[in-house]
Amino acid sequence: DAKTTQPNSMESNEEEPVHLPCNHSTISGTDYIHWYRQLPSQGPEYVIHGLTSNVNNRMASLAIAEDRKSSTLILHRATLRDAAVYYCILQTFYNQGGKLIFGQGTELSVKP
């Protein structure tokens, strides 16, 4: 299975931008990069996903390196409600049916 590497934890100050890194050196050309976040005792919430180009939505931006071996989730202005575990996931269709394989994630804490 395609794997990702993320820092175990990160800290941010409220109203400042947050850059959450993810390494995925074994990514193949057809793998999508997904980000989800999870609050305690809740199901994960979809944040954003992309293939090659940078992506923006109302929640965040996804910056994908030119060689696709790494990506960064950008929260433009962190709020206390953004404190969660963030998962970077590769979605592989070849021989995997497109299922999502979760890793350990990054626990983001936001200080007031």
Partner 1 sequence: DGGITQSPKYLFRKEGQNVTLSCEQNLNHDAMYWYRQDPGQGLRLIYYSQIVNDFQKGDIAEGYSVSREKKESFPLTVTSAQKNPTAFYLCASSNLPVNYGYTFGSGTRLTVV
Q: How far is the CB of 45 from partner 1 (least distance, A)?
A: 7
Tokens of 109: 């804490």
Residue type, 9: S
104 binds partner 1 (CB under 8 A): yes
d(CA 19, CA 33): 16
Q: Write the interaction track for partner 1 spanning residues 50-89; mark x where CB under 8 A is met and - where it is not.
A: -------------------------------------x--
Q: Which of 3, 69, 99, 111 binds partner 1 (CB under 8 A)?
A: 99
Q: Is 42 in the site for partner 1 (CB under 8 A)?
A: yes
Find the binder of partner 1 among 9, 14, 45, 52 (CB under 8 A): 45
User: Residue numbers of the site for partner 1 (CB under 8 A)?
Assistant: 32, 34, 36, 41-46, 49, 87, 91, 93, 97-105
